[in-house]
Structure 1
Amino acid sequence: MKEKSNFLKNYKFPIILLFSIILGSIIGLIMGEKATVIKPFGDIFINLMFTAVVPLVFVTIASAVGNMLNMNRLGKILGTMLLVFFITGAIASTLIIIVVKIFPPAEGVNLALEMGEEIQKISLGEQIVKAVTVSDFNELLSKNNMLPLIIFAILFGFCVATVKDPEKRIAKLLDALGEVMMRLINIIMLYAPIGLGAYFAALIGEFGPQLLGSYLKAMVIYYPLCFLYLFIFFPIYSYVAGGKQGVKRMLKYIAPPAITSFATGSSIATIPVNLTAAQNIGVPKDIREIVLPIGATMHMDGTCLSSILKISFLFGIFGQDFSGIGTYLTAILISVLGGVVMSGVPGGGLIGEMLIVNLYGFPPEAFPVIATIGFLVDPPATMINSSGDTIASMLIARFVEGKDWIEKTLKKENINDE
């Protein structure tokens, strides 16, 4: 009974959102094009979220980076951690790009909505410049330049952490502003069931059930891929980290964090289980106690997988060609850097979906389309995100402590090797 209660508590809001989307879809199927009369209720929700996105992203990212970089004595651990997070995220992103090229998730569906600027038509160099920078400060204040805003916030947070300020006035201000913005998002999210329900009633009423079939196809692609990633790439990473012994110990202890994160839908709630698993595997105490809490909000291989799926899905339903090195590199950059934003926002990473919509020039109507994918893929994505933190801690231990890190830790902490 308690486990059932915890499940409902952890998934209550996503269940409500999915129920509202399903109800809206049913209304759309019944009413047909007449359902567009309730579309303004969905527009209100999207406009509220777009209004809050710029200050939210800036204060949360700047605050998080500033606090993390205060631990200068652990520079080696942190530097290796960021490198491992980026590499595993890039590998996951590349893998899903290959999969969606073979099995396009929205093939044959074309929504009759106006497409914005097509970023893939400019040169690779121009595309990269446009993706990561703007030419004037005031352009950072636009929701259309989310990725440059993230990069600016990271640099600003670094400066906050390194400037001489004994009272940490700026850091405290950012923390306070972050709490205010998160409270604002929570308030806006109270309206999400009505907003998304109304939007899907209009969307399905106008474009029919073909869109629902595309969602099913996306799930058929994503769920098996997550489990293949867990059973194939996690052992590969573990072998790099600790050889055959690393693989053996990973397979022995990874199940509890994987199951817990899948059931709870929360990387934060899985931190205690991850800490125990990492200790049993043999990850040094200081490494696991730094990497796992930070990884719960920054290491997002599952989110990287879902981000590319969402991008490919949008390209498909808007009749765009998801191809070209520039498009792939931009998608990988979005998925890896955007994971930081997606992890800290209530409601299944809605800010991350806005980032995708804005950077690629899709119309606002595309936002609820891929927001639904975020809700549908949340359990396996969280499983990869959270249990992957333990795998990342193993890799970091290998590069910080040397190849015999398992033996040293097991001996030092008197852990049974059987």
Structure 2
Amino acid sequence: MTPANDRPASPRWLAFLFNTSLVAQIVVGLVIGVLLAWAWPDAARASGLLGNVFVSALKAVAPVLVLVLVTAAIANHKRGQSTHIRPILVLYLVGTLLAALVAVVASFAFPSTLQLAAADVAVAPPAGIVEVLRDLLMKIVDNPVHALLEGNFIGILAWAVGLGIALRSAGEKTTRRVVDDLAGAVTFIVRLVIRFAPLGILGLVAATLVESGFGALLDYVRLLAVLVGSMLFVALVANPLLVFFVTRRNPYPLVLTCLRESGITAFFTRSSAANIPVNLDLCRRLDLPEDTYSVSIPLGATINMAGAAITITVLTLAAVHTLGIEPDLPTALLLSVVAAVAACGASGVAGGSLLLVPLACGMFGISNDVAMQVVAIGFIIGVVQDSAETALNSSTDVLFTAAASRAATRGDG
């Protein structure tokens, strides 16, 4: 046998691949993407294929992963064992409402105005809160095959819960064992996809910088500053206060971990749905209870939308200030509630929250034509706005899941 010390050294790039953290590799991919867009635009455009493939792969595995993991978790759940879902739901709802309130305060402190002009946006916003709630109900009773194809995670969750409850009465060593093995197999595929995140981020960054650039954003710097500033305040101040209230521990190590390991990928994929596999993998590495995170993470990708609540509130109040409307305090507070409820119905895809802006604008008598011009502006600044929004939304899913789980563990101890 060849002594271990005599074995040939592995190539440096292989050593970097296997011995360096995924976050460090993503940062390297990000830097290479920026340099590629600056020095070789044609290659940067071509590298966009890497980003598209990565995001598509995440979106492809996410519905199957959620269905299998939730089914397995419920099927194997022991009676009397707490999943801590209720406190996580409370954190989701309180966090979203608090984010909307922060956006109201920021919009009054730093009022923004818009250059409204005729703009055609081929989308149909919901007519009101009732329609949003009706859409959520229809998603729950969706056909399971259609839910998987369309990435309808509310419908997938509903079927997974139903199947899990039904399988709890199955034989210990038969059906439930098969479900466990299937969950392990799907998880393996997900981890494989996530290992390609650095290449995906490289392609997304390079292609975005070449195609969009940031020149078009200069006219909306003030609006972006209010949006991103509100999101940063929620991420670094409001959410840590909530976590401290729940855990009674220094929240920032957990907050920064979630932002670094979940927020970075969510920023570039711009899809809460696509980031579900990343969040599930992070929860596993944080050693959280699988019974808890297998349900709370896909649920959070659907209803925990602090970033969306900020977007809806800030853009609506920007339209209000532009038109010279003077909102009173009760109306502004009501807007926070409406934005929080509407945000729960925002789709987990890029730009999903923008279609709910006309709903909030209706509170102030703003016509749908004007509101859709605000939506068009939202798409212009979406390169930054939607990325920051998704990073906040997705990282908060893990943050609140971990906070509630650790608080319960401390209480049990």
TM-score when normalising by structure 1? 0.58
Query: Equivalent residue for 2:341?
Result: 329
Query: Equivalent residue for 1:164?
Result: 170
Q: How far apart are residue 68 of structure 1 and its match?
A: 2.0
- Range that drifts further, 43-52 or 125-134: 43-52
The answer as to 2:178 corresponding to 1:180 is: no
Give yes or no for contact 2:37–2:210 (8 Å, CA) kept in 1. Answer: yes
Relative to structure 1, the CA distance from residue 214 to residue 178 in structure 2 (aligned partners, 3 Å threshold; closer, same or farther) is: farther
Deviations 1:324-377 (A, max 9, x none): 86653131365xxx9xxxxxxxxxxxxx44484698698998875456326876
Give, in whole Å, the separation in 1 of the partners of 2:234 and 2:343: 18
Give, in whole Å, the separation in 2 of the partners of 1:320 and 1:312: 14
Give yes or no for contact 1:60–1:178 (8 Å, CA) kept in 2. Answer: yes
Structure 2 residue corresponding to 1:65, chosen from 70, 73, 81: 70
Give, in whole Å, the separation in 1 of the partners of 2:70 and 2:35: 40
Give, in whole Å, the separation in 1 of the partners of 2:111 and 2:137: 28
1:11-50 equivalence runs, <5 A: 11-16=23-28, 18-19=30-31, 41=46, 44=49, 48=53
Q: How far apart are residue 82 of structure 1 and its match?
A: 0.8
Give, in whole Å, the separation in 1 of the partners of 2:149 and 2:253: 39
Query: Equivalent residue for 1:308?
Result: 306
Give, in whole Å, the separation in 2 of the partners of 1:232 and 1:358: 28
Across the two proteins, how many residue pairs are aligned to each other? Answer: 338
1:17-416 equivalence runs, <5 A: 18-19=30-31, 41=46, 44=49, 48=53, 51-52=56-57, 55-78=60-83, 81-104=84-107, 107-108=112-113, 115-120=121-126, 122-134=127-139, 137=143, 139-143=146-150, 146-155=152-161, 158-159=164-165, 161-162=167-168, 164=170, 166-167=174-175, 168-180=177-189, 183-184=192-193, 186-187=195-196, 190-204=199-213, 207-210=216-219, 216-229=225-238, 232-237=241-246, 250-251=248-249, 254=250, 257-258=253-254, 261=257, 265=261, 290=289, 294-295=292-293, 298=296, 307-310=305-308, 312-313=310-311, 327-332=339-344, 352-354=348-350, 356=352, 369-370=384-385, 372-373=387-388, 384-385=399-400, 388-389=403-404, 392-393=407-408, 397=411, 409=413
5+ residue gaps in structure 2? 1-18, 263-278, 321-331, 358-374
Q: What secondary structure sits across from 1:98 in the alignment? A: helix
Q: How far apart are residue 188 of structure 1 and its match?
A: 7.1
Q: What secondary structure sits across from 1:99 in the alignment? A: helix
Give yes or no for contact 2:99–2:306 (8 Å, CA) kept in 1. Answer: yes
Give, in whole Å, the separation in 2 of the partners of 1:23 and 1:302: 35
Relative to structure 1, the CA distance from residue 114 to residue 207 in structure 2 (aligned partners, 3 Å threshold; closer, same or farther) is: farther
Q: How far apart are residue 310 of structure 1 and its match?
A: 4.6
Give, in whole Å, the separation in 1 of the partners of 2:205 and 2:181: 35
Give yes or no for contact 1:21–1:197 (8 Å, CA) kept in 2. Answer: yes
Q: How far apart are residue 57 of structure 1 and its match?
A: 2.5
